[in-house]
Amino acid sequence: MYYSHTCTYCTKIFFTYHGRKEQAAEILYIGIKAHLVEYNEDHKEYEMDDDPKIEINEMYYAMSEHEDAPSAAYELK
C-alpha cells in the first residue's frame, strides 16, 4: 500500500510504499521532518514539534492510503 502526507509547511506531497501502516507513518514523519530541516523551514512550522512518538501517532491517522503511487509526489524510503 502507498501512504502519503503533505509537508506541513510547503505542502509538497511525500509518499512511501510499505506493508505496515505503522512503519509508513514513521518513514513519512522522519522524511518530512528531515525535509523541513534541510530547507530551513523547521523553525517556521509548528505542527511537527511534539515528541516524535506523538507525531508519528498523529501521522498514522492523518496520512492517506493509495492503491497506486501518487503522481507529482516525492518518494521516501
Instruction: Residue 71: give the domain boundaries.
Output: 2-75
pLDDT at 54: 93
Entry pTM = 0.91
Q: Hey, what amino acid is at 7?
A: C
Confidence band of 61 (pLDDT split at 50, 70, 90): very high
3: cell is 501512504
pLDDT at 14: 97
pLDDT exceeds 80 at position 46: no
Outline where the chain has alpha helix (H): 21-38, 52-62
pLDDT at 44: 81
Report the domain count for the chain.
1
CA distance 20 to 41: 29
pLDDT exceeds 80 at position 43: no
